[in-house]
Structure 1
Amino acid sequence: MDPRDRIPVFGRAPRQPDGRGAGRGRVVVVLGHADAGPRAGRANRRRARAAVAVLRPGDLLICSGGAVAGERPEAEMLAEHARGLGWRGATWTETDSRSTWENIGALPPLIESAGGDGPIILVSDPFHAAKARLIAGRRFPALARRLAPMPPRAAALARPGPARAALAAADLALTRALPSWAPRSATGVAGIRALGGAVAGQWRCQRRRGRESGAAMEQDERGRA
């Protein structure tokens, strides 16, 4: 089979999807993490495991993510790991997106091609999934109305360690506070580093302000004395 029959061009459904279409079933979308590959790394294994925990017979699995940190698209690694975990249902891959903004931008034509009107479940680590839902709500309200919450068991399976969770929480906070942040936020490894630098810069700025405020108060007290 021509790989192009299995892996869609960005934003379009494959000509011959791998398995049955979703029909009126659910669509489960698992979002990739920057991964050097060639096999799924820890974060993508967690997300694939969470997606498989959500999936039921008749659902459509869409794996989303391009080749950001390595030569192999995240979506292919996610799909492969989901198969390894026992998923045998319909699976589509979207392999060009390089950020959460692009993941969500690719969804409307894929959802349209899938047909049906069932719920859509975005699967990722909890903070990242919340960011994706927020972007969907801002860009595609009709799609966002079909979004269903990620089940608690899946959220627990996808949850990262404390350091990565803190970074994801900061990214979500910036996405909520600054509408201009999402289109240029974390894009793979470079984006994660940029986000970490931004958070560190905010922290240093707050410390500097605290020191300046303290010095000013001390000087004021000396003047009064």
Structure 2
Amino acid sequence: MVLGYRNRGSRANHVNRYRLRAGLRSFHPDAGERMLVLCGGGVAGPVSEAEVLSEYAHRRGFTGTILLDTQSRTTWENIQNAVPLIERAESVKIVSNSLHAEKGRAYLWRLRPDLAERLRRGADHRFGEIVLLKPVAALVGLRDLARLPPQ
């Protein structure tokens, strides 16, 4: 599951390209069926983040199954709307920048602990990648995680 990021136009911005690449490299080499669940509505532009991510996945040569959540406007809605799309999955990987993905995993634990038991780490961290964005994303992510109410 790749969580989208605000995209103003109809082509994937830098953050969405990074997140989709991280999603693609998160597949286990021996995985049978490869399925991408792409999340995000049209928060900042006329085309949903999910559709922008899908177009980029096709340009990157992805040939597996793609399921879209084009309605969500928040991370909570991303996870909530993706639940019906991942119910049959053997394993689930939530991909974004590292702390945003952690927030998504925390939300899945709250919504559906039975599905959260299938969570596996995605490959969202790669040394030297998005170097300038990581410190800012880390600060925002830590703030957001600290604001999560206790279970």
* Structure 1 counterpart of 2:55, from 80, 90, 102: 80
Aligned amino acid, residue 23 of structure 2 = A
Task: Tell me the secondary structure at the aligned position of residue 63 of structure 1.
Answer: strand
Q: Is 1:67 aligned to 2:42, yes or no?
A: yes
| Contact 1:125 1:158 (8 Å CA) reproduced | no
Task: Tell me the secondary structure at the aligned position of residue 125 of structure 2.
Answer: helix
Residue 125 of structure 2 aligns with which residue?
155
Deviation at 1:155, TM superposition (A): 2.1
Alpha-carbon distance between aligned partners in 2 of 1:97 and 1:43, rounded to the nearest angstrom = 18
Residue 95 of structure 1 aligns with which residue?
70
Larger relative contact order (C-alpha < 8 A, sep ≥ 6)?
2
Q: Is 1:58 aligned to 2:30, yes or no?
A: no
Alpha-carbon distance between aligned partners in 2 of 1:37 and 1:164, rounded to the nearest angstrom = 22
Rg (Cα) greater in structure: 1
The alignment of Structure 1 onto Structure 2 pairs a total of residues equal to 145
Deviation at 1:57, TM superposition (A): 5.2
| Contact 1:124 1:158 (8 Å CA) reproduced | no
Aligned pair in 2 of structure 1 residues 132, 170: CA closer, same or farther (>3 Å)?
same
Structure 2: segments with no counterpart, 5+ residues: none
Deviation at 1:179, TM superposition (A): 4.8
Task: Tell me the secondary structure at the aligned position of residue 36 of structure 2.
Answer: strand
Q: Is 1:39 aligned to 2:11, yes or no?
A: yes
Alpha-carbon distance between aligned partners in 2 of 1:83 and 1:99, rounded to the nearest angstrom = 25
Task: Tell me the secondary structure at the aligned position of residue 33 of structure 1.
Answer: coil
When the two chains are superposed, the root-mean-square deviation of aligned CA atoms in Å is 2.0
Alpha-carbon distance between aligned partners in 2 of 1:169 and 1:47, rounded to the nearest angstrom = 19
Alpha-carbon distance between aligned partners in 2 of 1:74 and 1:57, rounded to the nearest angstrom = 26
TM-score, normalisation: structure 2: 0.87
Alpha-carbon distance between aligned partners in 2 of 1:31 and 1:50, rounded to the nearest angstrom = 11
Structure 1: segments with no counterpart, 5+ residues: 1-28, 181-225
| Contact 2:99 2:137 (8 Å CA) reproduced | no
| Contact 1:65 1:75 (8 Å CA) reproduced | yes
Alpha-carbon distance between aligned partners in 2 of 1:142 and 1:92, rounded to the nearest angstrom = 21
Alpha-carbon distance between aligned partners in 1 of 2:78 and 2:53, rounded to the nearest angstrom = 14
